[in-house]
């Protein structure tokens, strides 16, 4: 299933150089399962052809405030009223000003006044324009309307400046639209997530680690942030891009992960320990490269910190979720870990099952809570599993009577 299956997205394109990205944005929305209606300002027509966007969206592009549909409906009323979500990308300084003033001088601004759907605004402009007090004030006003403002990326701009003002990647804008449509049932809660492997050095060039890619932990962090939580992600070494909107702390060893988790657990309401932490490390790390020689090699290992048990014992009223990656006796081993570590919920998966191992986009899991209730997910996307985990966790937060931390 796509994240936007069955949703109708109204894409409003402003007149900036970043308008060229709207073609790929339409494609990404469709790939996520949405149908896309495009509306363009007059200035946007100077940067990209309506025919291009019409060909990609398979729908007539709205460019005229006075146009009517085939069944005689007023165009801007229809497209604004039908939308499940609206995204303005790129949102130029001029368009943002007109939106903040409540103007209806073209099809885009008129449709934005009509719609009751969530609105995502993605500013893209010259750095100095973006930082001008008038633009900042207008963005604050739009945020006050309930619009979701997407922070622009930094980098080299088309105008030659270097700094913030770049329109984010289309995949990010799709994710922001998904977030705007998400239930914000974790708003005001603080969620601490661990992800990825740890690396325990043998010598300056070698280490002990595992096959964890971090995908599952990152999916949980992204989903929690979408649902309104303040998220801290403690990540081992992975090749994934940091989730937008999350505080990310990079660590390497089990000791470093333990220190980071302990430092942030007190301020957390929910802890989801997804990381595959190494169970053993060298009793003494060699200061120089261990040289090859005839015969075998014996390594003296010692246990690493049991991070999850330590967190669970000191958890107070917070909810703690653990993971169990097993190769045999899945349920028996998972229940044992749940009980030993005093967890509220454990997510068990057999990593030998096809599509459910490390470094895959999918997972097949069994969710087991402290009462013994089991929920089998079947093979699903890790993003979908993340939502199921948070659904259960939110229920546990409610049962425990934990209240969101309101600023």
Residue in this structure with the two tokens 């592009």, named with its chain if needed: 61
Which of the 8 DSSP states describes residue 188?
Answer: T
Catalytic residue among 1, 134, 151, 159: 159
Q: How wide is the angle at C-alpha 320 spanned by C-alphas 315 and 321, nearest 5°?
A: 160
- Residue 56 and residue 26 in contact, taking contact as beta carbons nearer than 8 Å: yes
Beta-bridged to residue 367, according to DSSP, are 347, 375
Task: Read off the tokens for 274.
Answer: 């997804």
Q: What percent of the chain has pLDDT over 70?
A: 96
pLDDT at 182 (0 to 100) = 87
Confidence band (pLDDT; 50, 70, 90) for 75? Answer: low
pLDDT at 72 (0 to 100) = 42
Between strands 230-235 and 200-201, the pairing is unpaired
Domains contained in the chain, CATH given: 8-181 (3.40.50.1950), 190-399 (3.40.50.10300)
- Alpha carbons 203 and 160: distance in angstroms, whole number: 46
- Closest-CA residue to 278 (of 302, 260, 298, 259): 302
Residue 358 vs residue 23, higher pLDDT: 23
Sign, Cα dihedral of 237, 240, 241, 243:
negative
- Residue 79's alpha-carbon distances to 9, 10, 27, 115, 242, in angstroms, are 9, 7, 19, 8, 35
Grouping H, G, I as helix, E, B as strand and the rest as coil, residue 269 is coil
Cis peptide before 139, with omega less than 30 degrees from 0? no
Position 82 pLDDT exceeds 80:
yes
- Residue 172's alpha-carbon distances to 52, 168, 387, in angstroms, are 22, 6, 18
Which of the 8 DSSP states describes residue 180?
Answer: H
What phi and psi values does residue 195 have, to the nearest 5 degrees?
-150, 155
The pTM assigned to this predicted structure is 0.85
Q: Any catalytic annotation for residue 246?
A: no
- Alpha carbons 123 and 326: distance in angstroms, whole number: 46
Confidence band (pLDDT; 50, 70, 90) for 41? Answer: very high
- Alpha carbons 165 and 124: distance in angstroms, whole number: 5
Which of the 8 DSSP states describes residue 221?
Answer: H
Position 407 pLDDT exceeds 50:
no
CA 351 to chain CA centroid, nearest Å: 24
The separation between the first and the last C-alpha atoms of the chain, rounded to the nearest angstrom, is: 36
pLDDT at 406 (0 to 100) = 43
Worst-scoring range by mean pLDDT, 60-74, 174-188, 297-311?
A: 60-74
- Residue 45 and residue 144 in contact, taking contact as beta carbons nearer than 8 Å: no
Q: What is the mean pLDDT of the chain?
A: 93
Instruction: Calculate mean pLDDT across residues 210-223.
Output: 95
Position 74 pLDDT exceeds 90:
no
Query: What digits encode the pLDDT tens for the residues 307-328?
Result: 999 999 888 889 999 999 999 9
CA 68 to chain CA centroid, nearest Å: 38
Beta-bridged to residue 207, according to DSSP, are 201
Query: What digits encode the pLDDT tens for the residues 93-104?
Result: 999 999 999 999
In this structure, the number of other CB atoms found within 10 A of the CB of residue 285 comes to: 13
Position 1 pLDDT exceeds 80:
no
pLDDT at 357 (0 to 100) = 75
């Amino acid at each position: 299933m796509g994240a936007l299956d069955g949703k109708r997205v109204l894409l409003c394109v402003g007149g900036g150089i970043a308008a060229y990205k709207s073609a790929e944005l339409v494609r990404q929305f469709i790939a996520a399962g949405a149908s896309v209606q495009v509306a363009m300002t007059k200035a946007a027509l100077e940067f990209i052809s309506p025919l291009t966007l019409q060909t990609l969206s398979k729908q007539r592009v709205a460019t005229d405030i006075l146009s009517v549909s085939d069944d005689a409906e007023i165009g801007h009323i229809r497209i604004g009223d039908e939308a499940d979500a609206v995204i303005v990308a790129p949102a130029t300084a001029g368009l943002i000003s007109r939106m903040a003033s409540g103007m209806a001088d073209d099809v885009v601004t008129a449709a934005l006044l009509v719609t009751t759907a969530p609105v995502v605004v993605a500013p893209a402009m010259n750095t100095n324009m973006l930082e001008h007090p008038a633009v900042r004030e207008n963005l604050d006003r739009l945020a006050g309307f309930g619009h979701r403002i997407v922070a622009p990326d930094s980098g080299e701009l088309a105008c030659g400046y270097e700094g913030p003002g770049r329109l984010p990647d289309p995949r990010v804008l799709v994710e922001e639209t998904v977030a705007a449509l998400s239930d914000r049932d974790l708003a005001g809660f603080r969620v601490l997530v661990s992800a990825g492997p740890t690396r325990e050095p043998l010598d300056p060039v070698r280490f002990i680690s595992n096959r964890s890619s971090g995908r599952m932990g990152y999916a949980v962090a992204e989903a929690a942030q979408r649902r309104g939580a303040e998220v801290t992600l403690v990540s081992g070494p992975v090749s994934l891009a940091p989730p937008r909107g999350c505080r990310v702390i990079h660590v390497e060893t089990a000791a470093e992960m333990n220190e980071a988790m302990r430092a942030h657990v007190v301020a957390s309401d929910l802890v989801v320990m997804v990381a595959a932490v190494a169970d053993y490390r060298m009793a003494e790390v060699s200061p120089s490269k261990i040289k090859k020689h005839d015969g075998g090699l014996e390594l003296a290992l010692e246990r690493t910190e049991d991070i999850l048990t330590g967190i669970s014992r000191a958890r107070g009223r917070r909810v703690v979720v653990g993971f169990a990656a097993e190769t045999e006796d899945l349920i028996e081993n998972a229940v044992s870990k749940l009980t030993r570590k005093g967890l509220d919920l454990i997510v068990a998966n057999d990593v030998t099952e096809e599509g459910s191992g490390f470094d895959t986009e999918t997972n097949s899991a069994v969710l087991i809570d402290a009462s013994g209730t089991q929920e089998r997910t079947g093979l699903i996307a890790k993003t979908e599993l993340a939502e199921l985990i948070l659904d259960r966790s939110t229920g546990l937060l409610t049962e425990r009577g934990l209240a969101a931390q309101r600023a």
